Amino acid sequence: MPFNTKLTRALGIKVPIVQGGMQWVGYAELASAVSNAGGLGILTALTQPTPEDLRKEIRKCKTMTKKPFGVNITLLPSMNAPDYGAYAQVAIDEGIRIVETAGNSPGPVIKQLKAVGTIILHKCTTIRHAQSAINLGVDFLSIDGFECAGHVGETDITNFILLSRARQSLKVPFIASGGFADGQGLAAALSLGAEGINMGTRFMCTIEAPIHQNIKEEIVRAQETDTELVLRRWKNTSRLYKNKVTEAAVKIEKESKTGKFEEVAPYVSGKRGREVFINGDPDYGVWTAGQVIGLIHDIPSCDELVKRIEREAEETLNKASALIVPASKL
Ligand code: FMN
């Protein structure tokens, strides 16, 4: 039976599963496959070198799916910040109705998008940030627990607490992000009050994810202990796949007398991280992955994966409700 949540209704999707924006992974191939499977696929704006390239990618994605898909705009601290407004304008001009925002000071971009009625899913790792985003008028929060891949924030609160805090205190619907890979997880998220889930690492390990096969096989081999937190010293903590490069970066982070970011910068270079996905060498640079990596044991198509999660979630919720029996049957 189909799911019917605030998320599925607002986005016009069948299954309450969002594929989170992923730098160097969120191309049309993956986003269209997730949307065709009944979830929400998302293109990552900043994976495209310019706003015009994003326009081309959106047009390409439209040829690959007739279903809704979204665009992620991530605002990160940077010396030479990209022109976020121009990326957002391209999304608007191309008729994108759903945008996932993440990062610092999203106010101006959210204002620009809301002015034309775009549905905004905003990612946050604390309830305080969620409340600020609500004041900006976002439609859904995407609550990112400490288990998640990428920017985990600085408070280290896992989803078991964070989701219930969201349920208790937020006036806007939310989805659960970080640590989800199966239908049992979706059922748990719905039970905690979420309207759906967001997955990153799990979607990297699908047939359609446009990354090297070796990296997908590395994900299948990896365990939940194989991620590492980097850049905590600079309050920009990222959960990355633990490899030779993250180990070297963390060593410098711990031992540096100066605490200058320049010392660690070459190790965490985004360019080398991108190369990992192209050349398939997991030790070539840093790449993002969540603790959920320990729950991933195969490389299915997006369609197979989404159908499986849907089926497992339904079975799990049915099994759970069968645990409640009339007192007369005990
Ligand atoms: N989130 C963003 O908002 N912007 C990004 O550019 C971004 N890049 C990511 C790249 C990779 C390879 C991965 C795995 C995740 C990335 N994320 C990014 C986070 C995901 O959108 C999602 O929130 C996260 O993966 C959820 O945790 P999970 O991996 O446990 O499912």
Which H helix or E strand runs over 213?
helix 213-221
254 and 146 in a common domain: no
Asked whether residue 163 is assigned to any structural domain, the reply reads: yes
Q: Would you tell me the crossing angle of helices 28-36 and 51-64 to the nearest 10 degrees?
A: 40
| Least confident segment among 33-47, 68-82, 155-169, 186-200 | 68-82
- Say yes or no: CB of residue 185 within 6 Å of ligand 1: no
Q: Ligand 1, atom 1: nearest CA belongs to which residue?
A: 21
The Cα–Cα gap between 254 and 266 comes to: 16
CA–CA gap between residue 305 and residue 277 (Å, rounded): 21
Same domain, 194 and 266: no
Q: Point out which residues pair with 44 in neighbouring strands.
A: 72
In a shared domain, residues 193 and 272: no
Number of other residues whose CB lies within 10 A of the CB of residue 284: 18
What is the domain count for the chain? Answer: 2
Mutate-to-test residue for ligand 1 from 87, 124, 148, 218, highest number of ligand atoms within 8 A of CB: 148
C-alpha 165 – ligand 1 centre gap (Å): 22
**Pair 180, 77 in one domain:** yes
With a 6 A CB cut-off, is 237 part of the ligand 1 pocket? no
User: Which CATH number does the domain housing residue 153 bear?
Assistant: 3.20.20.70
Distance CA 133, CA 108 (A): 12
Assess if residue 291 is contained within a domain.
no
| Arithmetic mean of pLDDT, 95-111 | 97
The pLDDT score that the predictor gives to residue 7 is: 98
Question: Does any domain span residue 326?
Answer: no
Q: Is residue 289 part of a domain?
A: no
Same domain, 120 and 263: no
Distance 292 CA to ligand 1 centre (A): 12
Instruction: For residue range 133-146, list pLDDT tens digits in order.
Output: 999 999 999 999 99
In this structure, the answer to whether residues 231 and 96 fall within a common structural domain is no
Tell me: do 271 and 302 sit in the same domain. Answer: no
Q: Is the CB of 125 under 6 A from ligand 1?
A: no
Mean pLDDT of 187-196: 98
- Which structural domain, as residue segments, surrounds residue 241? 227-279
For residue 149, count CB atoms less than 10 angstroms from its CB and return exposed for 0-12, middle for 13-18, buried for 19 or more. buried
195 and 246 both lie in a single domain: no
Indicate whether 78 pLDDT > 90: no
- Asked whether the predicted pLDDT for residue 79 surpasses 80, the reply is no
- Could you report the per-residue pLDDT of 52-77, keeping only the tens digit for each? 999 999 999 999 999 999 999 999 87
Which H or E run includes 99? Answer: strand 98-103
Model confidence at 35, pLDDT cuts 50, 70, 90, reads very high
Euclidean distance between CA atoms 165 and 168, whole angstroms: 5
Taking each helix axis as running N to C, give the angle between helix 127-135 and helix 159-169, from 0 to 180 degrees, rounded to the nearest 10.
40
Whole-angstrom Cα distance, residue 232 to residue 15?
35
- Ligand 1 center to 21 CA (angstroms): 6
pLDDT digits (tens, 9 = 90+) for 208-255: 999 999 999 999 999 999 999 999 999 999 999 999 999 999 999 999
Q: Is residue 292 part of a domain?
A: no
Instruction: Please state at what angle helix 107-114 crosses helix 84-93, rounded to 10 degrees.
Output: 20
* Same structural domain, 90 and 134: yes
- Identity of residue 98: I
Q: ipTM more than 0.95?
A: yes
pLDDT of the residue at 118: 98
> Which residue type, as a one-letter code, is found at position 265?
A
Does 272 lie in the same domain as 142? no
Over the stretch 270-290, which tens digit does the pLDDT of each residue have?
889 999 999 999 999 999 999
Instruction: Tell me how far apart the alpha carbons of residues 133 and 14 are, in angstroms, rounded to a whole number.
Output: 26
Domain-located, residue 220: no
Question: 200 and 236, same structural domain?
Answer: no
